[in-house]
Amino acid sequence: MGYTQTELNLTTLACSGCPQDTFQPSQGQTTCELCDPNAHSPEASVTPLACICNAGFADDSVHECLVCAGGTYKEAAADNEEDTELCNVCPDDSFSLAQSGRLVDCLCDPGFSGPDCGPCAACVAGTFKAANSSGTCEACPLHTYIDAPASAS
C-alpha cells in the first residue's frame, strides 16, 4: 500500500513509492491513483484521505475538492478533518473572489472602507468608494453631495 510494483508477473518484486499527489490503497498494483486536481498528498500515500485540498477549496467528503465561492475563503487544511470543513464566510461588508485562500482576500465592499479582512465601516455621508478594496472613502466631487452613508458613487 502506497507503493506499486513494476510488473505483476515478476518473481522478484521491484516496488516504488507512489509520487506526490497520488495514492495506492491496495497491494500488488502497478499504478497509483490520482488525487483530485486541486489537492495534494505526500509520497507513498495509502488512502484518498491523504489527498488534502489546496487553499481556496474544500473537500466534499467524497475526496473531490470544491472551489470556495465568491465571498468565502479557506486556507490550506493541515489534515483530513480540517479539509472537510466548509469555506469560511468573509466578514460583514466585505467580499472575496472565488477560490480565495486567505482571510486577507476579503476586501471591503463598495461604499465601505477598512483594512483587508475587515472590519469594514460604511463611508460617511459626503464620501463614497466605488470598488471592492481596502482603499479609503473619497470626498464627493466639487458641487456634489450624497447624504446617505455607504455610498458606492
Q: Is residue 70 part of a domain?
A: no
Q: How many domains does the chain have?
A: 1
Say how far apart CA 10 and CA 74 lie, in whole Å.
46
Kindly state whether residue 12 falls inside one of the protein's structural domains.
yes
Query: Is position 148 within any domain?
Result: no
Q: For residue 45, give its domain range.
A: 1-50
The pTM is what?
0.83
Backbone angles phi, psi at 103, to 5 degrees: -60, -35
Residue 16: inside a domain, yes or no?
A: yes
pLDDT tens readout for residues 85-114: 999 999 999 999 999 999 999 999 999 999
- Whether the link from the prior residue into 119 is cis, omega within 30° of 0, is yes
* Torsion angles phi and psi, residue 85, rounded to 5: -70, 150
Classify residue 129: in a domain, yes or no: no
In a domain, 3, yes or no: yes
d(CA 93, CA 72) in angstroms, rounded, equals 12
The answer to the question of residue 41 being in a domain is yes
pLDDT at 137 over 70: yes
What does the pLDDT look like over 15-35, one tens digit per residue? 888 999 999 999 888 899 999
Residue 20 lies in a domain: yes
